[in-house]
Amino acid sequence: VTAEADELVLNAAVTTDLVVLTIASGALQVLLVKRARPPFRGRWALPGGFVLPNEDLAGAAARELREETGMVAPSAHLEQLASYGAPKRDPRGRIVTVAYLALMADLPEPVADTDAADAGWHPVDVDARPRLAFDHETILGDGVERARAKLEYSSLAASFLTEPFTLSDLRRVYEIVWGSELEASNFRRKVLATEGFVVPTGGSAPAEGRGRPAALYRRGEAVHLNPPILRP
């Protein structure tokens, strides 16, 4: 038996797909691209693409994010979500996709790249957006649930905001992602009681509209929230 008998057999195409979430117009939104080629030509889908030979999985996801949004990874949160590999999930053959979840502030206008006829933000609410190609409905659902869960015990909510932000901004992130209202004064106490969640900039507030100007904050060093901020 020679070493050549153990020659590697490539049995799949591996891609990364992105669930990129942001908050805009008072709603949680996901980045979608309109497919320029079959299969599912003309249908909306999550952005994604093949993993290149010298790239690791997170690197491929970061590259996709950069290509689609112009956002560089450190300024957005990027984490592995799950992998999907049902034999018939893509009619072209066995494609295994490693999905990543990205959370970012609503800054850049997405750009349609080579494989996409169009690109843009859509509400995650299933009644307010197009149906997705492949098994991307499942992937999106898993991504949104992951985001909702992570807000409870991590400081990721701040990833949806640009600095500096007010505590009301932060609370609105929670309310929009969870779809339920939070008691403002108790929310404030919980956030400030968590060492390193936010730090005051000392800066005063831009008086935008009526009411007392709010104090400004930026992200702290903490990543894990203890105690957590639990969904109602």
Q: Count other C-beta atoms under 10 Å from residue 112's C-beta.
A: 14
Among the listed residues 74, 84, 93, 99, the one whose alpha carbon sits nearest the alpha carbon of residue 20 = 99
Site for a second copy in 43-72 (CB under 8 A): 50-51, 53-57
Site for a second copy in 4-33 (CB under 8 A): 6, 8-14
Could you tell which of a second copy, DNA, none binds residue 138, using a CB distance below 5 to 8 A set by kind? none
Q: What angle do CA 92, 14, 125 make, to 5 degrees?
A: 80
CB of 181 to DNA, least distance (A): 9
CB of 203 to DNA, least distance (A): 11
Using the minimum distance from each CB to DNA, give the nearer residue, 80 or 201.
201
Phi and psi at residue 189, in whole multiples of 5°? Answer: -65, -45
Q: How far apart are CA 220 and CA 21, in angstroms?
A: 21
Phi and psi at residue 111, in whole multiples of 5°? Answer: -120, 135
Q: How many CA atoms lie within 13 A of 64 on its CB side?
A: 31
CB of 14 to a second copy, least distance (A): 4
CB of 46 to a second copy, least distance (A): 16
Residue 163 near residue 75, CB atoms below 8 Å: no
Neighbour-count burial of 173, counting CB atoms closer than 10 A to its CB (0-12 exposed, 13-18 middle, 19+ buried): buried
Is 42 a binding residue for a second copy by CB under 8 A? The answer is no
Segment near a second copy (CB under 8 A), from 77-85, 103-111, 165-173, 185-193? 77-85
Neighbour-count burial of 85, counting CB atoms closer than 10 A to its CB (0-12 exposed, 13-18 middle, 19+ buried): middle
Is 73 a binding residue for a second copy by CB under 8 A? The answer is no
Could you tell which of DNA, a second copy, none binds residue 8, using a CB distance below 5 to 8 A set by kind? a second copy
Using CB under 8 A, count the residues that bind a second copy.
Answer: 31
Q: How far apart are CA 167 and CA 216, in angstroms?
A: 8
Phi and psi at residue 46, in whole multiples of 5°? Answer: -70, 145
Could you tell which of DNA, a second copy, none binds residue 93, using a CB distance below 5 to 8 A set by kind? a second copy
Could you tell which of DNA, a second copy, none binds residue 190, using a CB distance below 5 to 8 A set by kind? DNA
Could you tell which of DNA, a second copy, none binds residue 80, using a CB distance below 5 to 8 A set by kind? a second copy
Could you tell which of DNA, a second copy, none binds residue 202, using a CB distance below 5 to 8 A set by kind? none
CB of 227 to DNA, least distance (A): 3
Is 84 a binding residue for a second copy by CB under 8 A? The answer is yes
Using the minimum distance from each CB to DNA, give the nearer residue, 189 or 224.
189
Q: What angle do CA 52, 103, 117 make, to 5 degrees?
A: 55
